[in-house]
Structure 1
Amino acid sequence: MPVHVDNYLRWGLCCCLLLLAGCAGKLPQTLPLSPEREQEATTLWSAFLESKRPSAVDADIRLSWDVLGSKGAIAASLQVQQPALLRFAASDPLGRSLLLAVSDGTTFTMVDSRIGHAYRGRTDSKFWQEYVPEAVAPADLFALLGGFVNAGQGKNAAPAQDASGEDFWYTWQDDRAMRHHVLLARQSGEMRCHLLMDPQGEELLELRYADSTREAQSGYRWPGTVRISGEAITGTLTIQVERVYSHTLLEAATFRLDPPPHFTIEQVD
């Protein structure tokens, strides 16, 4: 379901709470694999699934958007932790808080400091899905931002050769009947693109990844740029990671939020 343009800024912020060839808004163009290349592709995918992944990220980001002629950008801090915890805080150039949102994957609290108002509700509510597409399950957000797949997904993915003759595509269907198409770079084994399509074959989301860096202390890699587009967005979001502080697990209090006492609070459906 396309995100309403009037609410796009807040949707973009929450999405973060929520690259590059062969996507183009439709099924990827592929070629059949020779037996040798099929074995190579299978080995690459197995190594990708078995790679050690972080369980949390604490980072400064810059979020920009381009939707139906509306363009903008903001600085923000982002904390995301498996299985479905997130905290997103956007600020203006002077460092003043604009919007803060937290979620445990089931419920959320969103505080808009610009109007002194807070929203509370469930992540399966119509309100939340106006800002974060229904296609993005809370448990999938961390993996989507990090350029990997959750444990247990993609084990039976079917490989194919990218039309360029270099990289490999992998396709599978999840338990929601969503179809995934993932492009891995043949040389590095990193995810370059993730297409998410509904059961009718309509592209809901396209995520493209680039500029990955390795955090020195943990050795984990994280994409420096994620570009998100698709029918569920009606435009483009770009997340640029300016600094990764840590992949260490965060305190539970990080993901709790009590609005200031003078703010009005609205329970939303």
Structure 2
Amino acid sequence: MNTFRSQFACLCLASLLLGGCASKVSHQSAQLDGKRLKLAEERLSNFLTQSCVDGIDSDVKLSWKAYAQQETYPATLQAAAPASLRLALTDPLGRPLLLLGSDGKTFTLADNRKAQGYRGNTELKFVRRFLPSFIPMDDLFLWLSGRVRGERMQTAAARTDAEGTLWWHGGSTDGRTAHILALDRQNRLSRHIVMDKKTDEILFEARYSGYVKTAKACAWPGKINLSGKALEADYSIEFGEIFGYGPLDKQRFEVTLPPHFTVKEMTDKD
């Protein structure tokens, strides 16, 4: 990756904000039908309808790994539903490196070391290399918080394994991808897999772990690992101290570039 791409990669992983090749459903799982399927449907419904936080303010640790290289950055993260994000990366000594702000439609990125700014819209092909096009931008906070927009799921089937994990198979509304959700015994999302329906290849997978309680019914994931064919690297985001859960002012996600910065307007040619 060139310098800007590698920097932006670390920032964009939080937009799903974020190794290795994902595995498919356990061979030890059993298909559910009848009364057991009805109970599984109730369990999924409870997961989808829980009251959840709509914002977060936290210290995080971001990592990416590709081409036998790995980098890790301390950072602060503010995010709010549906797709607002502010992410500030620092070096190990606490000096500011990069600042990203986005309202879900446009973004501004400030590189403090080079006095360089970047601006553009979030549907650029470049951005979609890190946030694949099959993930709607307005689902960004859902992916970050370990949630799912139920209306995007069509017909489904369910399986369960010896650990009590519920595996839920659903077709997406785009007709090209299939989703597999794994809910643990506490009804928290542990894996969300997006597969190509034609090839059965795993395009994208988010693994969630280390959940912590919030003031709402939903817990918050302590760590997210992202991988899959649609990504150029494996990413992770690990939450440290959490200062609060939304709501956050819109102004929090605005980044004003200093007058001495050189500004580049990003296009699909970049």
Report the TM-score, using the length of structure 1 for normalisation: 0.88
> For 1:227 and 1:192, how far apart are their aligned partners in 2?
10
Residue of 5, 25, 28 corresponding to 1:28: 25
CA contact (8 A) 1:207 1:227 kept: yes
Paired residue type of 2:59: D
Change (3 A) 1:93 1:26: closer
In structure 2, the residue corresponding to 1:14 is in which secondary structure?
Answer: helix
Q: Compute the displacement of 1:5 (Å).
A: 6.9
CA contact (8 A) 2:51 2:217 kept: no
The alignment status of 1:247 with 2:245, answered yes or no, reads yes
CA contact (8 A) 2:157 2:168 kept: yes
1:111-154: CA deviation from partner (whole Å, max 9, x where unpaired): 11121111111111123224433333221111111111125333
CA contact (8 A) 1:157 1:170 kept: no
Paired residue type of 2:229: E
Residue of 163, 166, 169 corresponding to 2:167: 169
Paired residue type of 1:118: G
Q: Compute the displacement of 1:46 (Å).
A: 0.9
> Unpaired runs of 5+ in structure 1?
none
The alignment covers a number of residue pairs equal to: 261
Quote the residue 1:53 is aligned against. 52
CA contact (8 A) 1:81 1:142 kept: yes
Quote the residue 2:127 is aligned against. 128
CA contact (8 A) 2:169 2:178 kept: yes
Report the TM-score, using the length of structure 2 for normalisation: 0.87
Paired residue type of 2:205: E
Residue of 213, 235, 238 corresponding to 1:237: 235
Paired residue type of 2:107: F
Quote the residue 2:118 is aligned against. 119
Paired residue type of 2:156: A
Q: Compute the displacement of 1:241 (Å).
A: 0.5
Quote the residue 2:206 is aligned against. 207
Change (3 A) 1:69 1:42: same
> For 1:119 and 1:19, how far apart are their aligned partners in 2?
22
Change (3 A) 1:94 1:157: farther
Paired residue type of 2:242: V
Question: Within 5 A, what are the aligned runs for 1:104-115?
Answer: 104-115=103-114
Seq. identity, %: 30
Question: Within 5 A, what are the aligned runs for 1:85-104?
Answer: 85-104=84-103
Q: Compute the displacement of 1:255 (Å).
A: 1.1
Q: Compute the displacement of 1:244 (Å).
A: 1.6
Q: Post-superposition, which runs of at least 4 consecutive aligned residues in structure 1 deviate over 6 A?
A: none
CA contact (8 A) 1:85 1:105 kept: yes
CA contact (8 A) 1:214 1:222 kept: yes
> For 1:192 and 1:26, how far apart are their aligned partners in 2?
13
> For 1:267 and 1:34, how far apart are their aligned partners in 2?
54
Change (3 A) 1:157 1:209: farther
Quote the residue 2:192 is aligned against. 194
Question: Within 5 A, what are the aligned runs for 1:67-86?
Answer: 67-86=66-85
Change (3 A) 1:261 1:199: farther
In structure 2, the residue corresponding to 1:152 is in which secondary structure?
Answer: helix
Quote the residue 2:262 is aligned against. 264
Q: Compute the displacement of 1:223 (Å).
A: 0.4
> For 2:91 and 2:120, how far apart are their aligned partners in 1?
26
CA contact (8 A) 2:210 2:222 kept: yes
Paired residue type of 1:261: P
In structure 2, the residue corresponding to 1:8 is in which secondary structure?
Answer: helix
The alignment status of 1:145 with 2:144, answered yes or no, reads yes
1:80-109: CA deviation from partner (whole Å, max 9, x where unpaired): 111211111111122221111111111111
